[in-house]
Amino acid sequence: MHKIEALEARIDTLETRLAHQDRMLEDLNATITDQWKQIEMLIRQAKRLDEQLQDVRDSAGSPGEQEPPPHY
């Protein structure tokens, strides 16, 4: 009987560890999903800011395109 009790204890320990690992995997998956959403949002925001910067540059014109003052 001693062997059966030892095996039952080992199985209980393994089941407990498996349950903790399953929970940890679920938590990690949720964290990764949240981080991926944040990354996608930051990428969209960076693209918008880049477009806005390009619009400002286009509307300001480059220094070489400006006409010289009339006294030149």
pLDDT tens across 54-68, in order? Answer: 999 988 866 556 666
Mean pLDDT, residues 1-26 taken together: 96
Question: What confidence tens digit (pLDDT) does each residue in 20-67 have?
Answer: 999 999 999 999 999 999 999 999 999 999 999 999 998 886 655 666
| More confident site: 3 or 69 | 3
pLDDT of residue 72: 62
- What is the three-class DSSP state of 71? coil
Taking the C-alpha atoms of residue 68 and residue 6, their distance in angstroms, rounded to an integer, is: 93
DSSP code for 70: T
Alpha carbon distance, N-terminus to C-terminus of the chain? 107
Q: Give the residue among 52, 33, 34 at the shortest CA–CA distance from 44.
A: 52
